[in-house]
Structure 1
Amino acid sequence: SDEKGYASLTPECNTMEGFEQAVAELKKRMDSALERARETFQQYQAQVKGEKAVSDFHNAEEIWQALEECSSLEEMRELFNELSVRKRQEVADFVLTQLNIFKGVASTFSQHYNEAEYLLE
């Protein structure tokens, strides 16, 4: 805290480049906190409804099995895109390397997966 009672979110920076790096690190930490909060919130909502949230599953295969049960691409897209980036990467890696992407739900997934942003479109 400074003399006015303000807390600093970054270390003291002597250059604009140093400040930009500090802000980038702060953004990364905030994004990580947001993802953890999103997962916690989804788990809470599922618990209230008496369901198991897709984000409760720990491995990519379990998550994929839940996604396969979706009744539409839109439902799959919504559930998949709500996962953390790490879990989306793990599921995509599982689907694209372990499953036959030329038929069934895996084919639909592979056609709509945006590898650059780790999202289903």
Structure 2
Amino acid sequence: MRLVVRAYPSDEKGYTSLTPECDTMEGFEQAVTELKKRMDSALERARETFHQYQAQAKGEKTVSDFHNPEEIWQALEECSSLEEMRELFNGLSESKRQEVADFVLTQLNIFKGAASTFSQHYNEAEFLLE
């Protein structure tokens, strides 16, 4: 079993494999899970790039322009709404989201201000603000 898509260039039958040939259902599930992870990663990179282009078109800096969690948090803290904070935060790569969340949850007072809002809406399992 394997997952294929009709695409060009392709094999002689007109298909391109997205997964290797698998002899067991478990192997196929593992291959599909890995493919989903790669697709999610590509989507994250595209989301971050899209947000950067939008901000550049408006002449704004994006949180991606900052390199450490403290700088990113400062930009997030300036958001005027939870929705704006959610959009900026969720637009970061997963690794950046983890770094920022670790900074907020371990270094800041999560009982007041923007850190409180962040901690109430942070989904630790998916590394997203909800």
Do the two structures share a fold, i.e. TM-score over 0.5?
Answer: yes
User: How far 1:27 sits from its partner (Å)?
Assistant: 0.9
Q: Which has the higher helix share?
A: 1
User: How far 1:108 sits from its partner (Å)?
Assistant: 2.0
User: How far 1:68 sits from its partner (Å)?
Assistant: 0.8
Consecutive unaligned residues in structure 2, runs of 5 or more: 1-9
Which 4+ stretches in 1 moved above 6 angstroms? none
User: How far 1:20 sits from its partner (Å)?
Assistant: 1.2
SS in 1 for 2:17: coil
Mapped pair 1:5 → 2:11: no
SS in 2 for 1:7: strand
* Count, aligned residues: 121
User: How far 1:106 sits from its partner (Å)?
Assistant: 1.3
Give aligned-pair identity as a percent.
90
Give CA-to-partner distance per residue, 1:32-77, whole Å, 9 cap, x none.
Answer: 1111111111111111111111222221111100011111222212
Could you tell which deviates more after superposition, 41-50 or 108-117?
108-117
Query: 2: distance between equivalents of 1:114 and 1:20?
Result: 26
User: How far 1:3 sits from its partner (Å)?
Assistant: 2.1
Mapped pair 1:37 → 2:46: yes
The 1:5–1:112 alpha-carbon spacing in structure 2 relative to 1, beyond 3 Å, is closer
Could you tell which deviates more after superposition, 99-108 or 34-43?
99-108
Instruction: Tell me which residue corresponds to 1:106.
Output: 115
